[in-house]
Amino acid sequence: MHELSRSKAAFCGLLAGLVAGIAMTLVMLLLAWKLRIATPLVILGDRFVGAIGGLIYGVLIRNRDRSPVWSTLLVFAVLPLLVSAILLWPVLGTHYAGMPIDAARAVTLLGLGLSFLVFERTLVLGFDFVTAAPRGRPSTEFSPQVGRRAFLMGIFGLLLAGGVTAIARKLFRIATFSYDGTQYKGPGVQPITPNEQFYCVTKNVVDPRVNEGLWHLEVSGLVQSPRTYRLQDLKAMSMVDQETTLMCISNGLDAGLMSNAVWRGIPMADLLQSAGPLNGAAKVKLHGVDNYADTFPLEKAMDPTTLIAFKMNGQTLPHRHGFPARVIVPGYFGEKHVKWLTRIEVAGADAKGFYETQGWGPDFIVPTRSRIDVPDNESWIKLADAKRGVPIKGVAFGGDRGISRVEMSFDDGESWDDATIHYPGTKLTWSLWSHDWQPDESGDYTLVVRATDGEGEVQEFEEDREFTSGITGFHKVLLHIFE
């Protein structure tokens, strides 16, 4: 057995650990990219942890003969797998090609196990390689020549890192940064939002791209007869078309996280009725393949307007909007319209969703809102032009209560004029309105819009409402009319 100084052992361990961490990251990225397995990709963290683990390993192992394989396997693969399984249990059921939740959990654990195994093997074999005594010489005579071997190990690490970068780039290109937060507002707003322009919000860095063959929809929980449907079973059921507007809970007064489409799908009630909710059932908890879930009352789920949608404006649901199936639940914030739906769980009264556990709510019902799309805030208009009429237009949305009236003010809410609703939509959609305004004098004007919903309630600022239930208030636009 050769002697190895403590610092040399630490260095070799650090190096082997670093390379092993890179190797593990490469495996995780390959799994994510090729098999859509969602192992937690904390890239830098993994490498850092790898290097530290290697350093400790190097120092501990220095004066021993090779430790038995089972002990390093235990410490570097089995234990991390156990710890991850415990700590990450709630997120393990994620699979970006839409594998059902239980199968996804098994596959993710397999992927994690493989990643840790690669770490352990690279660490142990890499350490052995770097610290091996030169051939032909009695190993006790010299401190091993680690220089050349460390260099080779470093090159190997760099090659792996190149692979990591290449795959990370590929994943970055399909990441959601380019479209998460897409808004729809301004002069171009049409009654029906084209699919490519529909607002978009996701919690994911990489969104699911569900494989129809892997996907299914479960109805489970507090039901008499749980069932599993394939996509073709669902498509054979009788469908309805329903125009419905969606708005995100975090939509600002002047923002465009709101859009309208015609959704084609089956009433959720049809599936719930054949499953038969049991006593104690109070809510449905809807799960996406991305480990997202949200809830609403069973009563709302039974409403004929609550749909499982497969089509959007006559086209197959786009991937980013939830292919192959998403929930449409009129009157509730966007959060509840779960995309990439894979499980309908009938649950008790205290079931909670992803955003609810993060502190959103308690109210998830869309309050009446309206927005001025034309003209822009801080526009300057010549009085002579303004006298020929300043076109004003925008949208108003009353959740599932419809819109019965839209009014404009040009004096910051002192007095109000009726606007024209030129696209009334339905109870479940926004209305589009316009107004022609002819100011007599130059000056600064504060334009305000307010809507009245289908139940006669006038839009208002609800002082007691917390922003976590979605803000209320009035959109205002400042106009400068000059001589």
Ligand X SMILES: Nc1nc2c(c(=O)[nH]1)N[C@H]1C(S)=C(S)[C@@H](COP(=O)(O)O)O[C@H]1N2
Residue of 17, 221, 267, 334 interacting with ligand X (CB under 6 A): 334
Residue of 248, 275, 307, 449 interacting with ligand X (CB under 6 A): 248
Which span (196-204, 275-283, 417-425, 456-464) binds ligand X, by CB under 6 A? 196-204
> Using CA atoms, how far apart are residues 288 and 339, in angstroms rounded to an integer?
6
> Using CA atoms, how far apart are residues 96 and 207, in angstroms rounded to an integer?
7
Which span (197-205, 372-380, 386-394, 446-454) binds ligand X, by CB under 6 A? 197-205
> Cα–Cα distances in Å, from 224 out to 219, 279, 312, 346?
10, 10, 32, 10
- Measured from the CB atom, the residue of 286 and 481 that comes closer to ligand X is 286
Helix (H) or strand (E) holding 433, with range, is strand 431-437
Does the protein bind ligand X through residue 337 (CB under 6 A)?
Answer: yes
Nearest distance, CB of residue 255 and ligand X, angstroms: 12
Which span (2-10, 111-119, 331-339, 379-387) binds ligand X, by CB under 6 A? 331-339
Nearest distance, CB of residue 111 and ligand X, angstroms: 21
For residue 44, give every residue at least 6 positions away whose Cβ sits within 8 Å of its Cβ, in sequence order, or none: none
Please choose which of Mo ion, ligand X, none residue 339 contacts, taking the beta carbon within 5 to 8 angstroms, the exact cut-off set by kind: ligand X
- Measured from the CB atom, the residue of 48 and 179 that comes closer to ligand X is 179
The beta-strand segments (E) located in 165-304 are: 217-221, 227-229, 240-247, 258-267, 283-288, 293-297
Please choose which of ligand X, Mo ion, none residue 105 contacts, taking the beta carbon within 5 to 8 angstroms, the exact cut-off set by kind: none
| DSSP class per residue in 76-119 | IIIHHHHHHHHHHGGGTT-BTT---HHHHHHHHHHHHHHHHHHH
The beta-strand segments (E) located in 141-257 are: 217-221, 227-229, 240-247
- Measured from the CB atom, the residue of 146 and 261 that comes closer to ligand X is 261
For residue 418, give every residue at least 6 positions away whose Cβ sits within 8 Å of its Cβ, in sequence order, or none: 405, 406, 407, 408
Nearest distance, CB of residue 416 and Mo ion, angstroms: 31
Please choose which of ligand X, Mo ion, none residue 337 contacts, taking the beta carbon within 5 to 8 angstroms, the exact cut-off set by kind: ligand X
Question: Given 3-state DSSP classes, what are the helix, strand and coil percentages for the chain, each rounded to the nearest 5?
Answer: 35, 25, 40
- Measured from the CB atom, the residue of 46 and 335 that comes closer to ligand X is 335
Please choose which of Mo ion, ligand X, none residue 216 contacts, taking the beta carbon within 5 to 8 angstroms, the exact cut-off set by kind: none
Please choose which of ligand X, Mo ion, none residue 144 contacts, taking the beta carbon within 5 to 8 angstroms, the exact cut-off set by kind: none
Please choose which of ligand X, Mo ion, none residue 288 contacts, taking the beta carbon within 5 to 8 angstroms, the exact cut-off set by kind: ligand X
Nearest distance, CB of residue 199 and Mo ion, angstroms: 9
Residue of 340, 364, 410, 430 interacting with ligand X (CB under 6 A): 340
Residue of 46, 120, 218, 335 interacting with ligand X (CB under 6 A): 335
> Using CA atoms, how far apart are residues 96 and 125, in angstroms rounded to an integer?
33
> Using CA atoms, how far apart are residues 185 and 183, in angstroms rounded to an integer?
6
Nearest distance, CB of residue 249 and Mo ion, angstroms: 5
Nearest distance, CB of residue 417 and ligand X, angstroms: 33
Cα angle at 303 between 301 and 309, to 5 degrees?
70
- Measured from the CB atom, the residue of 8 and 339 that comes closer to ligand X is 339
Residue of 11, 198, 332, 430 interacting with ligand X (CB under 6 A): 198
Beta bridge partners of 433: 394, 421
- Measured from the CB atom, the residue of 229 and 354 that comes closer to ligand X is 354
> For the chain, how many residues are written?
483
Site for Mo ion, rule CB under 5 A: 201, 248, 334
Amino acid in position 434 = S
- The pair of three-digit structure tokens given for residue 260, joined into one six-digit string: 């309208």
* Residue with nearest beta carbon to Mo ion: 248
Does the protein bind ligand X through residue 445 (CB under 6 A)?
Answer: no
Does the protein bind ligand X through residue 356 (CB under 6 A)?
Answer: no
Please choose which of ligand X, Mo ion, none residue 338 contacts, taking the beta carbon within 5 to 8 angstroms, the exact cut-off set by kind: ligand X
Per-residue burial over 254-291, b if 16 or more Cβ lie within 10 Å, else e, is: ebbbbbbbebbbbbbbebbeebebeeebbbbbbbbbbb
Please choose which of ligand X, Mo ion, none residue 198 contacts, taking the beta carbon within 5 to 8 angstroms, the exact cut-off set by kind: ligand X
Which span (50-58, 130-138, 194-202, 469-477) binds ligand X, by CB under 6 A? 194-202
Residue of 23, 201, 366, 477 interacting with ligand X (CB under 6 A): 201
With left for phi above 0 and alpha for psi between -120 and 50, is residue 4 left, alpha or beta?
Answer: beta
Residue of 153, 160, 246, 479 interacting with ligand X (CB under 6 A): 246
Place of tokens 């961490």: 21
Does the protein bind ligand X through residue 338 (CB under 6 A)?
Answer: yes
Please work out the total of residues on this chain that contact ligand X, with binding judged by CB under 6 A.
19
> Using CA atoms, how far apart are residues 474 and 20, in angstroms rounded to an integer?
57
Does the protein bind ligand X through residue 202 (CB under 6 A)?
Answer: yes
Which 283-302 residues touch ligand X, going by CB under 6 A? 288, 290, 292
Does the protein bind ligand X through residue 361 (CB under 6 A)?
Answer: no
| DSSP class per residue in 398-432 | -TTS-EEEEEEESBTTSS-EEPEEEE---TTS-EE
The beta-strand segments (E) located in 134-221 are: 217-221
Residue ranges that bind ligand X, judged by CB under 6 A: 198-204, 246, 248, 288, 290, 292, 321, 334-335, 337-340
